[in-house]
A and B are shown apart, each in its own frame.
Chain A
Amino acid sequence: AQSVTQPDIHITVSEGASLELRCNYSYGATPYLFWYVQSPGQGLQLLLKYFSGDTLVQGIKGFEAEFKRSQSSFNLRKPSVHWSDAAEYFCAVGDSGATNKLIFGTGTLLAVQP
């Protein structure tokens, strides 16, 4: 069965420091991969997505992610974190079959220290 694992429940970084959020997936075929961000009480905003092609994907707000098939990973990175990046981050894999429903990880809550 398809699944997504985000091993870090909470992460705290200092403002200006670099960030990497981990995501591992289990999926038989070539996955569609997504990172979404959710601010408290809000909906989900798409940060970036990978369907095919270049394995390094650029997204909004200075985020990027790298698809590594050999490691079944799609880690999210940002070189310099801003206080406004504090939020919850969800990795998801899309079922590329008929339904394209998304399977989400449990999320990583990011706190940013001044």
Chain B
Amino acid sequence: NAGVMQNPRHLVRRRGQEARLRCSPMKGHSHVYWYRQLPEEGLKFMVYLQKENIIDESGMPKERFSAEFPKEGPSILRIQQVVRGDSAAYFCASSPLSEETQYFGPGTRLLVL
């Protein structure tokens, strides 16, 4: 069983560009979480999604950030008009319907120039 997949692993953007981060959960997992790890900090919750639904986006910045988890395909975290402060590692985690353990992907490291 393949683990959680994230791509790209590294992403470089210039200020003002858009960043799209993809997450494919483990097979059979329908819950997806996104976390952000700023340099020298722990992980902070951003958003929790189930298929076609955003359940909790209390950790998402109010502007420029959005997330989706369509019926088919990976979950997408989208950052519009990136700024240098968006430089961070973005981790996706997935869990099965009835369990509480989250399994993490390798992360996408975003660098904004």
Contact = CB atoms under 8 A, between A and B. Distances in A.
A42 B89 CA distance: 10
Given A100-B95, A101-B45, A104-B42, A32 B104 contact: no
B9 to A, nearest CB: 9
Q: Which bucket holds chain A's interface residue count?
A: 20 to 34
Given A43-B6, A101-B56, A103-B45, 19 more contacts: A34-B101, A43-B104, A43-B105, A43-B106, A44-B43, A44-B91, A49-B100, A49-B101, A90-B43, A94-B100, A96-B100, A100-B48, A100-B100, A101-B33, A101-B48, A101-B59, A102-B35, A102-B45, A102-B93
Interface residues of B, number: 26
Contacts of B103: 46
